[in-house]
């Protein structure tokens, strides 16, 4: 196999310097010390993290619970219809009439299309 790519020349001094830096980094014992914290501070952090985790899990459960979301959506629509009925019954009647016409038209067209086959 031949390739037209020519490899760049390797600088031996740069390789040796990089290797030496890597060796010294691996051999050094200058690890940063973790901050000293009391057991009360650690306990407080644990409690706070547990509360945060519980809140996050509750939010995920709320979002992924489809039946509960459907019930909440139905209740919201029901409340909106109730408010519309109380505030403007004529608009509600017009909306129901329009919906009935739209559903009736869709059923009529579906039956007509099926009858042609």
Note the pLDDT of residue 113. 92
- Averaged pLDDT for residues 67-90: 91
- Ordered by start, the domain boundaries in the chain are 39-116
84 CB-near residues (< 8 Å, 6+ apart): 91, 92, 95
Q: What is the DSSP string of 35-86?
A: PP--HHHHHHHHHHHHHHHHHHHHHHHHHH-HHHHHHHHHHHHHHHHHHHHH
Q: Please give the mean pLDDT across all residues of the chain.
A: 85
Q: Distances in Å between the alpha carbon of 92 and those of 13, 77, 105?
A: 85, 13, 20
pTM of the model: 0.42
116 vs 23, more confident: 116
Is the pLDDT at 30 greater than 70? The verdict is no
């Amino acid at each position: 196999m031949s390739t037209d790519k020519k490899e760049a020349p390797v600088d031996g001094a740069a390789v040796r310097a990089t290797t030496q830096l890597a060796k010294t980094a691996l051999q050094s014992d200058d690890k940063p010390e973790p901050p000293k914290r009391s057991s009360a501070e650690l306990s407080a952090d644990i409690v706070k993290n547990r509360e945060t985790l519980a809140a996050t899990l509750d939010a995920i459960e709320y979002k992924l619970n489809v039946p509960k979301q459907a019930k909440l959506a139905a209740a919201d629509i029901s409340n909106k219809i109730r408010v519309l009925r109380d505030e403007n019954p004529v608009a509600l009647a017009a909306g129901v009439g329009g919906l009935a016409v739209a559903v009736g038209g869709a059923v009529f067209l579906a039956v007509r299309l099926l009858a042609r086959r």
